[in-house]
Structure 1
Amino acid sequence: MKQVVAYAPASMGNVSVGFDLLGAAVAPIDGSRLGDRVTISESVGELGLHCEGPWAHKLPLEPKDNIVLQCIEYYCQQMGFEPLTNAMVTLEKNLPVGSGLGSSASSVVAALCAVDGWFDGAASQSQLLHMMGELEGRISGSVHYDNVAPSYLGGMQLMSPVAGKECLPLPSFDNWYWVLAYSGVSISTAKMRALMPTDIDMATTIEYAQNLAGFVHACHRQDEGLALALLKDCLAEPYRAEAIPGFTDAKAQLQLLDVAACGISGSGPTVFAVTKDLETAKSAAQKLQDTYLQGEGGFVHICKLDTQGTVVEKK
């Protein structure tokens, strides 16, 4: 029986310093699955959908409203293929909706990579990226690639406006640990984007450009001290911090532990902290476990960057 399975890891949009232009894929060091998996299997009749996993109950009840089926339909339209039939799609939903961990992006990337695998890799990387951005935009309210690109390609990715060079991989720091804490409170990406002003003053614009440019330079030079000094958010965090329950206190607690950097993952509520050693990462994880988790399903993971990105298996 023909079967294609695609797993797309969770991702952090913005990574503090690069609003809408920087993203990173993450993987827990304990080997647990932090990302969505889509399986397409041969079946009989019309295309069907089955949802499972710890967050399946948060998905739309109508299959046609699920972004995964929309991805498959869109892929076939864009590639000029007949609509997919005689197949069953299974979505294993491992990421909470509205978490700031690229939940919708993970589903979109896994679905498009799975259907592309079903059609023997007919789409190019650039074509897939554009489709991922379009489908992600249906949920978040605007087309941006800072979650889909790292989830698809792995590592840390810098977005580019140049056709064929839509994202550029950045060297990372292998010794960094990324502590991620999802509070359990769901926050709408569209709502958080609405908090941002439509006009940014010149001083903030220059500071943002300096920070991002310097961070990119530091990554390529492997200047860890400079990279950490610039890993801060002067653009979005000032407008979003108060809208994320417990974030300001959590950041203050993390800074007391002398973490190297901390901020909001995507539009929140997930908070991240960067440490240079495992012991500090464990201390930060315990502090967040004790003080930041608020709702059912909240969790903390110590992660490294996922350099592999989406994995596709054919059976």
Structure 2
Amino acid sequence: MTISVFAPASIGNLNVGFDVLGLAVKPIDGTLLGDVVAIESATENKLIVIGEFANKLPGKATDNIVWHCLELYNLALEKAQQPVKKVQLTLDKKMPVGSGLGSSACSVVAALVALNEFYQQYFDEKTLLFMMGAMEAKISGSLHYDNVAPCYLGGLQLMVPDKHVISRSLPQFDNCYYVMAYPGINVSTKAARDVLPKQYSRADAITFGQNLATFVDACHRNDKQQAFSVLKDVLAEPYRQHLLPKFIEAKDYLSAQGHLAVGISGSGPTLFCVCDSLEKAQNTALWLQTNYLQTDSGFVHVCQVDLTGAERLPA
């Protein structure tokens, strides 16, 4: 029997929460914006990579993050003195690499959830989330859960400094649309982190803390106007926006149209724009299709919040 698991795209940071906020999103047209990992019994461990963006990954299976997930999961089984089986994993890479949509998180989450399903959910949710964080740290060089947590758990997630909790779900706004525009170029997470300053001013620190606290409070009070009025990035966007061709011009135009918020998804280059009506979202998508995309591999999707997160697909 083959088990297939889908893991959705996510918006890391969400402007106001650098490394501590993440939002899972799904296109309203039913497109699977994310990765799928299938697992089945085999005579030897094997990884097959397919999909639109498969050619952007390492050619050697043992260099792939999904293979590393298999190694980590098997090691955890051995430590728990559980039998380890041979499996074949198939990664359907639907998510562009270096897109700012949590591409690596999608592969990590789909792989580990598929493995856990194969082993009849041997490890609990928190243990799996720890594994996902370890894999993300292996890729980016630092531990952060703002993509893997929403990708795995769904919804809007706030990372908390408690290793027994890791993240908490925040109330989100059901009547919002998130237009995601990937221009078709890549920006590495490491490069995007390297441009950030080593220290920030007291004023920026105060603004960051005030905006994040206000956003979280507004989410709990269901105050959409207040929440999105503070959805501003003072820590990363000022330093990263020059890495993203056409971003500044696009943000200026979209902000002038009265949208709820515009920002960089994760470390970019994907731009996200929050709209309060489907008509606005569709018009925005058309504008971005013409004015922000730069290669044939670029795309625009009108999305809403994915409340499910990673899920097992029907057989």
**Percentage identity across paired residues of the two chains:** 48
Q: Which letter does structure 1 place at the counterpart of 2:49?
A: C
Structure-2 residue corresponding to 1:26: 25
Q: Which letter does structure 2 place at the counterpart of 1:33?
A: L
Question: Residue 122 of structure 2: SS of its match in structure 1?
Answer: coil
Preserved CA contact (<8 Å) 1:253 1:287: no
Question: Residue 158 of structure 2: SS of its match in structure 1?
Answer: strand
Question: Residue 303 of structure 1: SS of its match in structure 2?
Answer: strand
1:148-205 per-residue CA deviation (whole Å, 9 max, x = no partner) reads 0000000000001112211000000010000000000101000000011111111100
1:257-314 per-residue CA deviation (whole Å, 9 max, x = no partner) reads 2211100000000000001001111111111101100023000000000000000258
Question: Residue 304 of structure 1: SS of its match in structure 2?
Answer: strand
Structure-1 residue corresponding to 2:51: 53
Preserved CA contact (<8 Å) 1:215 1:231: yes
Structure-1 residue corresponding to 2:111: 111
Structure-2 residue corresponding to 1:276: 276
Structure-1 residue corresponding to 2:93: 93
Q: Which letter does structure 1 place at the counterpart of 2:50?
A: E
Q: Which letter does structure 1 place at the counterpart of 2:59?
A: L
Unaligned ranges ≥5, structure 2: none
Distance 1:254 1:150 in 2: 26
Structure-2 residue corresponding to 1:286: 286
Shift of 1:256: 2.7
Shift of 1:79: 2.9
Structure-1 residue corresponding to 2:304: 304
Distance 2:49 2:214 in 1: 43
Structure-1 residue corresponding to 2:200: 200
TM-score by length of 2: 0.97
Shift of 1:4: 1.7
Preserved CA contact (<8 Å) 1:10 1:25: yes
Structure-1 residue corresponding to 2:213: 213
Unaligned ranges ≥5, structure 1: none
Among residues 53, 63, 66, which one is paired with 1:65 in the alignment?
63
Preserved CA contact (<8 Å) 1:79 1:123: no
Preserved CA contact (<8 Å) 1:3 1:314: no
Aligned Cα root-mean-square deviation (Å): 1.1
1:122-153 per-residue CA deviation (whole Å, 9 max, x = no partner) reads 11111111100010111122110000000000
- In structure 2, relative to structure 1, the CA distance for the partners of 1:273 and 1:314 (3 Å cut) is closer
Preserved CA contact (<8 Å) 1:257 1:284: no
- In structure 2, relative to structure 1, the CA distance for the partners of 1:48 and 1:314 (3 Å cut) is farther
Question: Residue 122 of structure 1: SS of its match in structure 2?
Answer: coil
- The question of 1:79 aligning with 2:73 is answered no
Q: Which letter does structure 1 place at the counterpart of 2:273?
A: A
Shift of 1:253: 1.8
Distance 2:90 2:150 in 1: 23
Distance 1:238 1:267 in 2: 12
Distance 1:62 1:314 in 2: 30
Preserved CA contact (<8 Å) 2:41 2:85: no
Matching of residues 227-306 of structure 1 within 5 Å: 227-306=227-306
Shift of 1:83: 4.6
Q: Which letter does structure 2 place at the counterpart of 1:220?
A: H
- In structure 2, relative to structure 1, the CA distance for the partners of 1:281 and 1:41 (3 Å cut) is same
Q: Does 264-273 or 3-12 show the bigger shift?
A: 3-12
Structure-2 residue corresponding to 1:11: 10
Question: Residue 101 of structure 2: SS of its match in structure 1?
Answer: coil
Distance 2:157 2:4 in 1: 24
Distance 2:90 2:263 in 1: 34
Question: Residue 18 of structure 1: SS of its match in structure 2?
Answer: coil
1:21-79 per-residue CA deviation (whole Å, 9 max, x = no partner) reads 00000000000010100000123x21111111111111110000011011011011023
Preserved CA contact (<8 Å) 1:73 1:84: no
Preserved CA contact (<8 Å) 2:77 2:83: no
Q: Which letter does structure 1 place at the counterpart of 2:219?
A: C
Structure-1 residue corresponding to 2:163: 163
